[in-house]
Amino acid sequence: MQDKLRIAIVGAGEMGMVRGVMAKGLPMYELACIVDSRGTFARLAGKQFGVRHFSSYEKAASAEQFDAVVISTPLNSHHELGLKAVRDGKHVFCEKPLAGDSSLAIEMHREAAARGVKTQVGYNWRFHVTFSKAKEVIQKGVLGEPKYVRLMVYKSEVVRPEEKGEKKNREERFGFYGALAVHGLDLLLWFAGKPSSLSAQTTRVFSSGLSDLISAICRFDGGIHGVIDLGWSHHGFVDKDELSLHITGTEGSMVVNPDCIETYLERECGEFPCGDSLVYASELPYHTEFWFTHRGLSHEMEAFANAVIRDEKPAPSWYDGYLVDRLVEALEESGASGKPISPVIEESE
């Protein structure tokens, strides 16, 4: 069995460079080359990482050996690059959102499944200690049977009219959804399951393509009732990630955010006492060979490498990426029409 995953990173922007540093720091990775259509960026990144650089994926694939591709390019190239890589038999990690369009996302997922390659999408909050711990203990029944989930994601990123160029750039990157909200939506689906119906209200405060403020009431497949409250035009939310989940079950309630897990339980359950308890992220173990910039990134990249090396099922998969893209469309569709909808969800297989 191979012990290292040899990768090509496509895109030498901010995330591509972070992925490159992490690949150099994590022992299960070997960085083969870096690709960027901007020659200066490619050359600089190649020099910094001590690897070959190419101006296109095709040139890299024909000249260099690698098992997997990390796609860190702008959203509008994920579909094309993702398909090319899986058709070449490469395992692929793609930054979030997967495609920003559910029909493209499901095509990516199905093509990857048909080729038998591993795929993962960059919803790294699943790997943050508080959310992963919450998921683990809820699955063990600490809250009893989950009945209600509320997702709140607030930012103060777009709080004034923007210059045309900046606005266009943001909207091409999927607006607020692309900036942070998709992370929250992925967590919501991870905890609650697929949406069966929803009714949304959406408002464009400063954007023209996608909404800045989004609220919705949902019902999920397992019967859980959910509330979604998203916005990047709220003033005063200057923290990088104001993201929280409130989950209520038959035996207790839990609030999870990046800093802590707060619970109130009707009975003692495992490590959680009856009544109130509070666990900080700093109290939960998180060890890795290389930690860099964000609290979930290391385990996310370890998970992708391990899925390939140990032939395990990767998660969040491209199907999970499809589900988030589909949920965004459903929110926007319901918000625009003012009517409740039951989104059609494609099956994984």
Residues in touch with other proteins (CB under 8 A): 20-21, 24-25, 39-41, 43-44, 46-50, 166, 238-239, 242, 257, 259-260, 280-283, 285, 287-293
Rounded to a whole number of angstroms, the minimum distance from the CB of residue 270 to other proteins is 19
* Nearest residue to 333 (alpha-carbon basis) of 97, 76, 102: 102
Rounded to a whole number of angstroms, the minimum distance from the CB of residue 115 to other proteins is 32
Pair 153, 180: CB distance under 8 Å? yes
Nearer to other proteins, 268 or 283 (CB): 283
Tokens of 330: 């459903």
Nearer to other proteins, 26 or 121 (CB): 26
Nearer to other proteins, 127 or 220 (CB): 127
Nearer to other proteins, 212 or 332 (CB): 212
Rounded to a whole number of angstroms, the minimum distance from the CB of residue 202 to other proteins is 24
Angle between helices 102-115 and 78-87 (to 10 degrees): 10
CA distance linking residue 93 with residue 305, whole number of Å: 10
CA distance linking residue 129 with residue 195, whole number of Å: 25
β-bridge partners, 154: 231, 242
Alpha carbon 110 to its chain's center = 19
Residue 18: CA count within 13 A, CB half-sphere: 17
Tokens of 209: 């393509």
- Residue 230 neighbours by CB under 8 Å, 6+ apart: 151, 152, 153, 154, 176, 181, 184, 213, 214, 215
Nearer to other proteins, 39 or 275 (CB): 39
Rounded to a whole number of angstroms, the minimum distance from the CB of residue 186 to other proteins is 21
Rounded to a whole number of angstroms, the minimum distance from the CB of residue 92 to other proteins is 23
Residue 211: CA count within 13 A, CB half-sphere: 21
Rounded to a whole number of angstroms, the minimum distance from the CB of residue 20 to other proteins is 8
Rounded to a whole number of angstroms, the minimum distance from the CB of residue 132 to other proteins is 16
The DSSP secondary structure of 140-205, one letter per residue, reads: TTTTSSEEEEEEEEE-BS--S---HHHHHHHHHTTHHIIIIIHHHHHHHHHHH-SEEEEEEEEE-S
Rounded to a whole number of angstroms, the minimum distance from the CB of residue 10 to other proteins is 18
Rounded to a whole number of angstroms, the minimum distance from the CB of residue 137 to other proteins is 18
Nearer to other proteins, 24 or 219 (CB): 24
Nearer to other proteins, 50 or 116 (CB): 50
Nearer to other proteins, 41 or 264 (CB): 41
How is residue 273 annotated by DSSP?
P
Nearer to other proteins, 25 or 74 (CB): 25
Residue 114: CA count within 13 A, CB half-sphere: 10
Q: What letter represents residue 324's amino acid?
A: V
